[in-house]
Amino acid sequence: MGVLTVSIKEELTLNGAQQGGINTLNIASINQSYKRIVTCPASADTTIASFEATTATTAGKPSFDIDDVKYIRVTNLDDTNSVNLSLQISTAENGTADSSCTVLLEAGRSFISGTVHDGIAVDDDQKNIVTSLTDLESLLVDPGSNSVKVEVFIASA
């Protein structure tokens, strides 16, 4: 068993004073890691990870045990083009996506998340915070009209 150490560091000097910081998180009980650079072809959605009841690989697409995932990072490796990262959500928690949330992942930027089981929710009819969280079913990348590469890193128990 290992411990994943994640450090986020910002460096910014304004008027001669350092405004950045370093935040470090240790995530214990890591037994598995997955790291891959994925080419996302132009004008095609690419599934970069799925989360299910067990770990598996189907048609070359990795699937991770939904109860074991503790950390996810997706980095857009392109130096010019952004991508849309779609978080496919199973609000019924039945392993099938029935809603989604899409975030813009600009060139060189990363998206970081923790647990996928009971770790996300969306609501399109109210502006209040949703506290009844559901499951992340998968991650899709829409690169638009450009072929781009993304790096996926997942750590799990």
For residues 6 and 47, membership in a common domain is answered with no
For residues 4 and 71, membership in a common domain is answered with no
For residues 23 and 86, membership in a common domain is answered with no
CB count within 10 Å of CB 1 equals 7
Report, as an integer, the average pLDDT of 63-86: 97
For residues 79 and 105, membership in a common domain is answered with yes
What per-residue confidence (pLDDT) applies to 58? 61
Burial environment of residue 109 by CB neighbours within 10 A (0 to 12, 13 to 18, 19 or more): middle
Hey, what long-range contacts does 20-27 have (CB within 8 A, 24 or more apart)? 27/3, 27/70, 27/71, 27/155
Q: Distance between CA atoms of 71 and 114, rounded to whole angstroms?
A: 4
Q: Which domain holds residue 4?
A: 1-30
For residues 46 and 96, membership in a common domain is answered with yes
Total count of domains within the chain? 2
For residues 50 and 68, membership in a common domain is answered with yes
Whole-prediction pTM: 0.92
pLDDT in tens, 85-127: 999 999 888 889 999 999 999 999 999 999 999 999 988 888 8
